Amino acid sequence: MDSTAQQKATMIGGDNLELSFKDLSLDAGTVGEDSSKILKWNLPLKELYKLACSFYKEKSGKAIHLSYEDNLKLVAFTQQAAHGPLDLSKAPPLGMFDVIGKDRRIAWQQLGTITKLQAMEGFIDLLDRLCPLFKPYVEAIKKDREEKARRAEQEEIQRTEALAAERERQEELARLESEKNREELHRRQLQDALNQQTYHQFKEYAEIQFPGNPEQQAVLIRQLQNEHYHQYMQQLQAQVATNLARLKSLSDGEEDDTPTAVVCENGAAGAIEPAAANEFANANNAKENSQFEFKEQCDSDNDSGDYAVISPANMWTKPDIKLFKQEVMAGKGDGVIRVNHGDTVTVKVPTHEGGSCLFWEFATDSYDIGFGVYFEWGKPPTTEVSVHISESDEDDDTIEEDDEVICAEDLECGQVQSSQMSSAGSALGSRNPISIIIPIYRRECHQEVYAGSHTYPGEGTYLLKFDNSYSLWRPKTLYYKVFYTR
């Protein structure tokens, strides 16, 4: 056969081979299920056979060039894999001049009785031997599939982790929202309880400030209640922190049988027995008790060691400072006082038989001033309000001296050592005990009116102290009002 005839036979063989691929695509499913379990090159035999057929169909005549005899062998393997051994009784007759058909039948018949799986494997081995590029092609496909499987697995892991993180975030948000709702509910309950306690006092005060104006009275009452709640929470937190620090100091190094000197909340020094530690421990549950009372330890004029119960004072501010000054100057308040530099003014207000709560308001012209409230226990000698002015260099027997009031806090001076307070407390002699309700601190009362109230703790005299001792040059003009409610 010359080269032209051989080329024609190759082309015809290729066309017939392509037809055999169509037959294969229809009949490959008839191969037994065992083919999916047989591995070759770490791939199922059936899958590898499909890759071989696809590779040959795409590359034949392009990347690979096979002889006529090799094409016949490959076609024979595909026929055997698709239909099994050749059965001449069922084969259609061939034409007299169908040379290629006769060659194909001869090649198919030479395969004998090998199984379809053996025919698949023979096709793969023959193609691998004839075309060295086939095995790298299969390896590349395997790596690509493995990479896709790895990426899919990694993406699945990332999706799982993202879903888990989103669930945790949603759970955390739900927990925070629930906690926020509980805190808000507790805050409302606590504020409602405080509002019920102070409503009548604030109502009487509002009626005095805005007589015949219920709307303004309601606004003022709400403002006072909010201020009272915030001050109450600040004092409560400070009290809890102080008590925890005391408990820690008691548990760290102090002997159980020795009374411990402590600085009182009201400024006095005294002795606390170990059994009294339970009183401090109860402060941990203070936020859950709307009726919490601040217990302050004070010196007394005898050796009984009793404790005085002082409730916290309420303080707030008012913006209408000009109107307040005009009312005081017009005679609608208690008066105007000039507090010179270095002086301290003490306004003594006795408790009234018909009263239950003291109110005060004050402001200055251009500069701030120190302010604090003390309470002197005992029956007041008079029912009149009096004003006492003391200079910083005076050496008289007044309430402003350090040996008169033992306070834990003074104007911008921090705490006093308990040993100093104890020695000062012993010098009181027979004087009435004094409790500090509000320590002296500088107030920006030249910008707004400072106001406050305190429920009578008992019979005694309130000492409203206006301290200008820290000022070396500036005198202060003080406007103040004090009154009581029933």
Q: What is the C-alpha separation between 465 and 473, in angstroms, rounded?
A: 20
CA torsion angle 396 397 399 405 (round to 10):
110
Q: Is 464 within 8 Å of 482 (Cβ atoms)?
A: yes
Q: What pLDDT does residue 64 have?
A: 76
All residue ranges of the chain with pLDDT < 50 are 1-33, 255-307, 393-429
Distances, alpha carbon 67 to alpha carbons 11, 60, 197, in Å: 11, 11, 109
Task: Tell me the C-alpha distance between 72 and 59, whole Å.
Answer: 17
Q: What is the CATH number of domain 313-392+430-483?
A: 2.60.120.680
Tens of pLDDT along 104-144?
Answer: 888 898 888 899 999 999 999 998 898 888 889 899 988 99
Domain 36-130 has CATH 1.10.10.10: no
Long-range contact pairs involving 18-25 (C-beta distance under 8 Å, separation at least 24): 18/57, 20/75, 20/78, 20/79, 20/82, 21/53, 21/57, 21/78, 23/78, 23/79, 23/82, 23/83, 24/53, 24/78, 24/81, 24/82
d(CA 124, CA 157): 37
Other Cβ atoms within 10 Å of 233 Cβ, number: 15
Considering only the C-alpha atoms of the chain, give the largest distance between any 2 of them, rounded to a whole number of Å: 149
Q: Do the bridges between strand 314-318 and strand 460-467 make them parallel or antiparallel, or are there none, so unpaired?
A: unpaired
Q: What is the pLDDT, as a whole number, of residue 392?
A: 56
Question: How high is the pLDDT of residue 203?
Answer: 87
The C-alpha atoms of residue 388 and residue 46 are separated, in whole angstroms, by 112
The pLDDT, as a whole number, for residue 415 is: 41
Delimit the domains of the chain by residue range.
36-130, 149-241, 313-392+430-483
